[in-house]
Structure 1
Amino acid sequence: MEILSRILRGIHQQSQVSYHPKCGKLGLNHLIFVDDLMLFVKGDTPSVQAITSSLDSFALLSGLHANLEKPNIYMAGIRDNIKQEILTVTVYTEGLFPFRYLGVPLNAGKLNKTMFTDLIAKVQKVLNHWSTYKLSYAGKEKNTHSESWRSILLVRDELLNMGGNGPAAERLLSGCVKKGCIQLSLLYDKFRRKGNPISWGATVWHRAVLPKHSVFLMLVMQQKLATIDKLNHRGISLVNRCVLCKADNETHKHLFFQCIFSTAIWHQVLHWLRMQHRTSKLSKEVHWIAGKKVRKHWKAQWFSSCLGATVYSLWEERNLKIFQGLEHDIDYVVKRIQYFVSIRLLSVNSPSKEGEIIGSLNA
């Protein structure tokens, strides 16, 4: 979807393509929610043709095609002859205003109260249910002493425990006030249980790392993967042999990065980044990368992004060999890692840096 957004934003560089009259100041021509896509464009044939061409280009790149039975096109304030031209270009069915999306009415003109009748009724039904759901047993009989009031009393008791007495609790709360208002973030920080800080958090959750890579890298750092040695420990009898190098037992420590196969891949990735570095175990690699991130230049994002993509791709390659019998060489895996990193770096940096990033990645 990031690539689709980039393609759609780029069509307005063409002189004949215009924004929807209400979206020009925002620079908005599309919204994506889950698997729904809403496109906004001026009601003329060239602009609509540019949108449909962009969807066709994305389909060629990704293999994802729109279901022609579902899309509707909604038009307002357009002459009939232009409307017919647009319908011919898009081959979509014309929708009629008003219509509902996620329960909210949408219309070309002003919305009136009657359009929200169903939505208001649903909200009132939920609120009426909540009014009794949160009451204690005694409260349901007498309509008093709700669970909400009990929660407030628990917070009071917690404050007294932390402060020792009333004035101390007031001083504790006063530290959470800014400009006359209680800051919930500060209040939460006072009450939450604080553990020891983790050294790898900033590297794992760096914005340059794909979200799925960050989650997976967190599992690796916590040694939560179902490696063969762990499965054996749980009583599942399997031959403990690393399928990537076939030379040692499969453990977290071995896969990242004591395995010959994984070490070779990480070396090639570092060579791509033009870095000379002696590979060590994963925890030391994370510590090394954390030191590189002191710089605020976008090139510092490479290291976290590459580590996340490498660890994810190694586990993916391991699963392909075990469950599907597929085997790829080192060059294939490295190219896949380069693809993940390139896409992510282009998506998190400003369009003005695209040329610099692409040039550096291809150098």
Structure 2
Amino acid sequence: MAMEGFTGVIKKFEVDGNITLLPRCKVVQLSHLIFADDLMIFVKAVSDSVIASLGALDEFAFFSGLHINRPKSSIILGGLTQTSSMQLLELTGFKETKLPIRYLGVPLVAGKLTLGDCNPILDLIWKKLERWKSSFLSYARSYNRSHKFSKDAIYIGQEYFPFQEEGGLGLKRVKEMNVAGIMKQIWCIASHKKSIWVKWIYKRYMEKDIWSVKATSDASWVWRKILKYRDKMEYFIMHIVGNGISTNLWLDNWHPKGILIKIFGDRIRYDAGLSHLATIDEILKDGAWLCTLDTTLQLMETWGGLQSIPKPHYAE
């Protein structure tokens, strides 16, 4: 709650023109990120912006009593001469750090994490398992099962005791959990969830929807992985027609038969005389379906299925 106050303070400095944001941060108005015990501020590496950022921190400290810990604070500089870098380090009193930075022991990188990157997290997991083993397992079970946590041991735990409620170990398959996490991100993107990350994705990689976008050569490993799983996810996302303005006629999953372009191919667009980016409102008028009496079998099948859809809310 208190950190929301800092958001208001730094926003005021930004609106007043005292802070200049980084080029790619301007498109989503990203000036800072707040974590549980950390704060990251993104500004252009010029004296005026840095001084204003420090001023925002001081003003927030005056109202909240929360002060920055300078010995534990650091600054990341890029694209500067050595002289300019030294001036900003002297101005802030922070120590300089280099990318990639680590959060909770894991480096924040756009590329694929290596095994070495994940070692700090793995070490924490092993330590937790060792404590858990000694606390909850009997000596006999410890001897038989927990002398080494191998894939076989995990498999046995899932095979015979899949749920904690049934007396199991409560272990989950990492791959399945990872896929579920990716699909949740796809849902956030497709549903236009109000978040900085979703806004960033649309500004950085997409113009309209996630289903038709192609991965560019400079796309991050994370983004390419998300696009890899979208085909598995799109049939689980149904669109409520409403007024039809935001639902694509051919690419979105709104029709009882599914995604029309994948069922009938591009030919259906030409037969209907509607563009690739046509929206449902183009076949709506005053809340009623407005479809031509076409003779092609595909269009007759498509328009006929509209009768099973609840009457659209034209006034929405």
> TM-score range, shorter-chain basis?
0.3 to 0.5
Structure number, greater radius of gyration: 1
TM-score (ref. length: structure 2): 0.38
TM-score (ref. length: structure 1): 0.34
